[in-house]
Structure 1
């Protein structure tokens, strides 16, 4: 099954708060490990796998996910059909509209952990209504818009805190290895210079860095994520290659070298096998 890597590096965003509904189909989606400096409230309708710090939680029914700026998490949609709502806001936005720090002390936003809630149908309907009202307020040209937004965010926090559903700690060896592998993989991106290629390119490179046997690493990653170590590496390389082809003026040969391909034809073949087009075709289509 093809997997699409989504970069939610919201540090690039120019706004201090945003919220949206989404519904899409196509490639299975993964969000790599990140700690993006934002608060996030995320209602996920589709089955998914969440990697939160040292924990792996498989969610077979809708889940409401709260994360603070210190939480490192990753996401795997588990299927092509996906839908839900998300809201992100900065520490500065919260400090401005919660000057006494009351909301920041709520369990849902506490710095020690993320919080997961599995709402029953009636509560799920109420949460969905709040998200729709929140997304409408985001786009509303209204003098007290920010105050409305904060009220809806607070209402979502209250919905989450109606039940105490913190995920049980499961920091076993397989979970730790998976987290460390994914964090090592994503720490190599973005690549800032073609003269400094990604240092860890093969499963063996990661195994040596983690001081474990490569067969043990491969078996662990396949068991905990459903994908092979090589697939994770390839997916990340493709995502970075697309970004460099879109946003840099590097030559295709330089992009390939930065991703560990010593010969341009090897990079061309790898890219076409994973995307259906050559790097040049992809870059040209993006320009036109």
Structure 2
């Protein structure tokens, strides 16, 4: 099964990329379903693939949606949430398809500084409820949010992407309110508690707001010590809950902050390296290149 990238999406749809998108860390865009009517005609099939981005759609029209092992017949209106973790597609069942959809990457929401980890949210959990058939009244409320996004992305407002992040979070919370209570409040096991405390401890160190500020917890052993658990236990718990090791999660969060500092500050590379816990600039450069395939200066430019 292939994974469809952001670049693949634009090639397949010939959609226009926002002119100022390169100023942003991460990616966001919004579209009208109507603009894709020709390629979404009855009987056409969206490839059943994973996408390397998140997608939220509000669609009016008869459709058949397939998400993981679920197949849902949609008679009129649907609100859909898609995650890079799970393959999906939907097949229009009539020629009257209307609505909006937005696509965004994980890095896009990182900048809102809320500590939100998308894959920890119930709406994006495997086995969750990502497709909702909604009323006409709900469609009006949801469409109003999409219309504000559609208008805002074309504006010259300096902080429009901050506003767009808030609209995306509003859609996510709207969807989570539609979920059964059992999926919103899972049993809180000891392992889940350790995972939750680790993420809280990690996020508490960010954002980095001064070149004199320095990460205090840098390694898996540092976090295990703070949580009063053995480092092997912490690794086991995180691997079971997230599929990633402690070091992988820490490295991912540090590189996200590094991208923000490189794009949004004028700090030199030495200052950024120090604030992120690297004693040597060369160590930071090697770390960043390993994570992104780019040198820090190349990413900044």
| Length-normalised TM-score, structure 2 | 0.50
Report Cα offsets for 1:237-277 as digits up to 9, x if no partner: 11111111111121101111111111111111111111111
Q: 1:181/1:44 Cα in 2 relative to 1: closer, same or farther (>3 Å)?
A: farther
Tell me what 2:129 maps to.
Answer: 118
Verify: 1:209 aligned to 2:226, yes or no: yes
Deviation, 1:133, is: 4.5
Q: Using the alignment, how far apart are the partners of 1:280 and 1:264 within structure 2?
A: 12
Per-residue deviation at 1:191? 1.0
- What is the deviation of 1:122? 4.0
Q: Which residue among 191, 195, 219 is the counterpart of 2:208?
A: 191
* Contact 1:48–1:75 (8 Å) recurs in 2: no
Distance 1:120 1:27, change over 3 A: closer
Q: Secondary structure of the equivalent of 1:190?
A: coil
Q: 2:81 aligns with which of 45, 48, 55?
A: 45
What is the CA RMSD across the aligned residues, in angstroms? 4.6
**Conserved in 1, the CA contact under 8 Å of 2:80 and 2:131?**
no
2:146 maps to 1:135: yes
Q: Unpaired segments of 5 or more residues in structure 1?
A: 2-19, 30-42, 50-57, 63-70, 79-83, 85-116, 142-152
Matches of 1:229 and 1:159, distance apart in 2: 28
1:74 matched residue in structure 2: 117
1:206: Cα distance to partner? 0.4
1:252 aligns with 2:269: yes
Question: How far 1:127 sits from its partner (Å)?
Answer: 5.4
**Inter-CA distance 251–134: structure 2 relative to 1 (3 Å threshold):** closer
Q: Distance in 2 between matches of 1:157 and 1:255?
A: 37
Structure 1 residues 22 and 124 mapped into 2: Cα distance closer, same or farther (>3 Å)? farther
Deviation at 1:159?
Answer: 11
Partner of 2:199: 182
- Summarize the Cα distance change of 1:77–1:212 in structure 2 as closer, same or farther, 3 Å threshold: closer
Aligned to 2:254: 237
CA contact (8 A) 2:289 2:295 kept: yes
What is the CA–CA distance in structure 2 between the aligned matches of 1:169 and 1:206, rounded to whole Å? 25
Does structure 1 retain, via aligned residues, the 8 Å contact 2:194–2:234? Answer: yes
Q: How many Å apart are 1:165 and its aligned residue?
A: 3.7
Partner of 2:189: 172
Cα distance in 1, alignment partners of residues 250 and 141 from structure 2: 38
Residues 175-211 of structure 1 show CA distances to partners (whole Å, capped at 9, x for unaligned) of 1111110111111111122222110100000000000
In structure 1, what is the Cα distance between the partners aligned to 2:190 and 2:222? 19
Unaligned 5+ runs, structure 2: 4-28, 33-49, 55-78, 91-113, 153-169
Task: Report the alpha carbon displacement of residue 171 of structure 1 after superposing the two structures with TM.
Answer: 0.9
